[in-house]
Every structure is written in C-alpha cells, then in structure tokens.
Amino acid sequence: MGRNPRSRYRNQRSRWSEIPTQPWETLRQKLLGHELEGYARKQVAKVTLLHPDSFAFELENILIRLHMDVLEVQSQELAKRAEEGVEGAMDAYKAVLSRLNLLRRRSK
C-alpha cells in the first residue's frame, strides 16, 4: 500500500511552515501541479472578490489556519507518545503547543 495521504499532507505543511511570507504570485507558482493548488486558488478567489484590499491579510489567515491544523495533529500524536513514555515527546509536545497558542492569538 502507498503512503498515507495525510502523512504526505502533514509533511508538506511542516515544510510550508518554514517558508517565509511570500507574495501570492510566488506561492501560486510553487503550488503549480500540487494537490492543494485548486484549493488555494479557490480560497484566494473568494478573498479577492469579496475584499480586494484585505487580500494579503486573508491569505495569511488561511495559511495560519492550515498551519494550525497540522500543529493540532502533531500535538495529538506527541501527547500519545508522551503518555507512552517516549523520550523527548513531552518537550516536543510543549513546543508544538506553544507555537499553536501563538498562532491562535495571532489569528484572532
């Protein structure tokens, strides 16, 4: 059986979290052919049609929410590993929760 699509999505999302903020055109070019390209285009189209002046702000919020989804999954996995006594899992869990809380405050 092939790799779990969720795992591939999480790996891609974790790489995205390391990429600094970029103009939409740059992001669009990097998404060409990616499985999330269509989703990103639809989200951007919605934002630009409704509020052209808030495009960058809304795009940033979309990316923050996507990043938060990945961190939620990571925190759940790390919590399970910490319960099992895996070394370093508790520290990693705390770090992920810290980033998640920071993003929650930022997205309000």
Q: Where are the chain's structural domains?
A: 5-107
- Structure confidence by residue, pLDDT tens digits, 32-41: 887 888 888 8
Please report, as a single letter, which amino acid is at residue 49.
L
H-helix or E-strand containing 18? none
Question: Tokens representing 55?
Answer: 């495009």
Average pLDDT, the chain: 77
Q: Please tell me the predicted confidence (pLDDT) of residue 85.
A: 94
- pLDDT tens per residue, range 62-85: 888 888 899 999 999 999 999 999
| CA atoms of 82 and 56, how far apart (whole Å) | 38
Q: What's the mean pLDDT in 48-71?
A: 74
What is the model's pTM? 0.50
Compute the distance between CA of residue 81 and CA of residue 13 in angstroms, rounded to an integer: 21
* Dihedral angle sign, alpha carbons of residues 40, 5, 99, 31: negative
User: Distance (Å, rounded) from C-alpha 27 to C-alpha 36?
Assistant: 11
Query: Above 50 in pLDDT, residue 6?
Result: yes
